[in-house]
Amino acid sequence: MRRLPVLFLISAALVAAITLVRTQSVHAGVTPAAARAAAAANSPVNAHTSRSDAEINIYASPLELLLSPDGSQLFVLCQQSGDIRVVSTATGRTLKSIPIGQELRGIFLSPDGSRLYVTSSWDDTVSVVDTHTLAVTARFSVKGEPSGVVTDKSGKTLFVANRLSNDVAVLNATTGDEIKRLAAGRGASYMLLSADGKRIYTSHIYPALGAHRTVPQSELTVISPDSEPGRAAGPHVVDRMPLHLAAGVFHIAQSADGRLSAVAHFHPKNLIPLAHLEHGGALANNLTLFGPDVDQAVGGTIEVPLDELDRYYAYPFGVAITPDKSRILVTHGGADVVTVISVPALLKFAHAHPKGFAEDLSASGNYVLARIPVGKNPRGITLNRTGSLAYVANRLDDTISVIDTRTSKVLRTIALDTPKAISALRRGEQTFYTAKYGFQGHFGCSSCHLDSTLDGLTWDLEPDGFGVDIVDNRLLEDIRDTEPYKWNGGNPDIPTECGVRTEKYFWRSENYDARTLADLTVYIMGIRKRPNRALPGPGKLTPAQDRGKVIFERTVDNFGNPIPELNRCNYCHSGPKGTNQKSFDVGTKKWTDRSGLLDTPQLTSIALTAPYLHDGSARTLEEIWTVYNPHDQHGRTNDLIKDQLNDLIEYLRTR
């Protein structure tokens, strides 16, 4: 008799376990309602405590890393915890944590090794760390979301790539005084000082704003850090190296002899209907090589595929070239691997295929030596002095992989101090950044929403029909209370947007279970809005912004005629997010669109989100009114003079 309750409990537990396993393993038909309920339970903001999930669990999130000159210490940039961890390479122990700021993005060691420069992208600062005392000795203000950072060879001048202002700030490295700005590509982000110190290369993550439905174009902005007698005083742009067809350009590396350089990037297929993923249907993950060695082989730059016929290596991010120039290592943030390339084999193959081989998925089999599994979302990579060891920052599991570059094996994994419990928010972020749900690992959410933002591209999605309903990719920041989603307003919530629809028409492969979809929803709903740099202060507007606000809210046009309520800016673009969450026909329907009835987009961080309109046809905010609003259906704007349009833009930049 006494055993009965025990047996009952065991049986009940078994039944519960069976039920749980069944619940966890249900893949087909994940209902948005189930995911919604689960997401609500895992909401990043706890209503009772007002403490967000992110605040409760701050993960290190190592994004970039560098070695000290003697190789004894790793300086690890931890994006989410906002500090630099100093890690002993001998023991793997964290020796010190140096608090820096919000959303750290770039790190550079001065040529003499005495200073570390760290960008804090959401604080608009560059911090200077003394590598002997491991103390922050200065903080320089750099407007425009500082990202990549380098100095010139002397260490006297600092160069900072700014993602929001699309430029490179030139500063006195000692005082932090800004000397000048140089225009760079849209979303300027990653920088490299050449081996000889004569050039600085800057990449950018959003493609240039070109004509509608034309191929993406990016560039490497090539800067001379020095004056050129008779030509230019001080640092200046000497070249804008085109990266034809590239979008989403990340790190650049150069060989020690300066003769070979490589930059990692996406090669999107956004202009072709996204009907299926095989044969590189959505994106290619590539390198572009340049430099004298490449000139010698092919007479110019060459684009190098990293994918294979049946397997893709999403999100090529970090690049390193061994000092002996025998290998190139590339991290793949979506595939959780590091690709090892034989440089001699690659140059030989390139020489044999001088017309290019970017579309040949069998090419990589001729020069890839290994694919090394590492941690989740590997990003930054650095080599020791001899090139025998590579250190890889695995951003989403808070580890550093140490790789033997000769054997292409992971020697050990260094775990950083970080919360042990993995929150729903963190799981959602891991899901957002992995490409494992895409058919053959083709791509993931973050392939098109770079760093959880957008890609600056328009896409031709299949279910609407080929060439029908071309859609601009939208920003994910602070999207709570902006539903419905999708330009046609067809998806009432994120579980609908990212569930069955995404499985069928994006991944073309088995999607998440209900819990993973709920976690993903928690993450997406928790993506924060970046600080607004256009506002002069809390609750303040500049005179131009004030004038623009008046235009935005006006009820009478320049001729004294009343503007119907439905045709006022602030009717559709109302509320704190700038959307009344309804659909309207504002006269922007193209012959390729099935309907002119379109969801009112939110105005969040609108300065960042070009191109504009549902199909990305307006390159600037001004074009919305001056080119695509001939009949004043998209608000009364044809009475506005240029100065007023500028004021309106100034106001919108504050949203």
Binding site for other proteins (CB under 8 A): 7, 11, 14-15, 18, 27-28, 213, 215-216, 245, 267-273, 275-276, 278-281, 284, 305, 307-311, 358-362, 364-365, 368, 439-440, 460, 462-463, 465-468, 500, 503-505, 507-511, 591-592, 594
Q: At what angle do helices 514-525 and 424-433 cross, to 10 degrees?
A: 90
Q: Using the minimum distance from each CB to other proteins, give the nearer residue, 118 or 304.
A: 304
Q: What is the per-residue burial (b if ≥16 Cβ within 10 Å, else e) of 111-130? A: beeebbbbbbbbbbbbbbbe
For residues 504 and 239, give the distance between their C-alpha atoms in angstroms, rounded to a whole number: 43
C-alpha distances (whole Å) from 411 to each of 77, 338, 351, 404 are: 22, 14, 34, 6
Q: Using the minimum distance from each CB to other proteins, give the nearer residue, 316 or 387.
A: 316
Is the CB of residue 342 less than 8 Å from the CB of residue 327? yes
Shortest distance in whole angstroms from residue 456 CB to other proteins = 14
Q: Using the minimum distance from each CB to other proteins, give the nearer residue, 12 or 41.
A: 12
Q: Using the minimum distance from each CB to other proteins, give the nearer residue, 14 or 183.
A: 14
Is the CB of residue 130 less than 8 Å from the CB of residue 86? no
Evaluated on CA atoms 97, 336, 476, 47, the torsion sign reads negative
Q: Using the minimum distance from each CB to other proteins, give the nearer residue, 295 or 510.
A: 510
Is the CB of residue 415 less than 8 Å from the CB of residue 376? no
Reduce the DSSP state of residue 321 to 3 states and report it: strand
Q: Using the minimum distance from each CB to other proteins, give the nearer residue, 224 or 364.
A: 364
Shortest distance in whole angstroms from residue 598 CB to other proteins = 17
Shortest distance in whole angstroms from residue 28 CB to other proteins = 6
C-alpha distances (whole Å) from 122 to each of 81, 215, 528 are: 13, 31, 11
Shortest distance in whole angstroms from residue 229 CB to other proteins = 43
Q: Using the minimum distance from each CB to other proteins, give the nearer residue, 268 or 318.
A: 268
Shortest distance in whole angstroms from residue 368 CB to other proteins = 7
Shortest distance in whole angstroms from residue 595 CB to other proteins = 11
Is the CB of residue 516 less than 8 Å from the CB of residue 494? no
Reduce the DSSP state of residue 239 to 3 states and report it: strand
For residues 549 and 621, give the distance between their C-alpha atoms in angstroms, rounded to a whole number: 15
Residue 66, Ramachandran bin (φ over 0: left; ψ between -120 and 50: alpha; else beta): beta
Q: Using the minimum distance from each CB to other proteins, give the nearer residue, 27 or 412.
A: 27
Q: Using the minimum distance from each CB to other proteins, give the nearer residue, 12 or 135.
A: 12
Q: Using the minimum distance from each CB to other proteins, give the nearer residue, 240 or 244.
A: 244
Q: What's phi and psi for 274, nearest 5 deg?
A: -85, 70
DSSP 51: -
Shortest distance in whole angstroms from residue 377 CB to other proteins = 21
Three-state SS sequence of 20-35: HHHHHHCCCCCCHHHH
Is the CB of residue 164 less than 8 Å from the CB of residue 605? no
Shortest distance in whole angstroms from residue 613 CB to other proteins = 17
Reduce the DSSP state of residue 522 to 3 states and report it: helix
Shortest distance in whole angstroms from residue 30 CB to other proteins = 11
Shortest distance in whole angstroms from residue 432 CB to other proteins = 19
Shortest distance in whole angstroms from residue 491 CB to other proteins = 16
Q: Using the minimum distance from each CB to other proteins, give the nearer residue, 169 or 274.
A: 274
Shortest distance in whole angstroms from residue 505 CB to other proteins = 6
Per DSSP, the residues of 491-515 read: BSSHHHHHTHHHIIIII-S----HH
Which of 189, 185, 231 has its CA nearest to residue 210? Answer: 185
- Both tokens of 439, joined, read 């058919």
For residues 420 and 164, give the distance between their C-alpha atoms in angstroms, rounded to a whole number: 34
26 CA to centre of own chain: 31
Shortest distance in whole angstroms from residue 21 CB to other proteins = 11
- Both tokens of 571, joined, read 């009717």
Is the CB of residue 395 less than 8 Å from the CB of residue 365? no
Q: Using the minimum distance from each CB to other proteins, give the nearer residue, 66 or 340.
A: 340
Q: Using the minimum distance from each CB to other proteins, give the nearer residue, 153 or 311.
A: 311
Is the CB of residue 511 less than 8 Å from the CB of residue 437? yes
296 CA to centre of own chain: 33
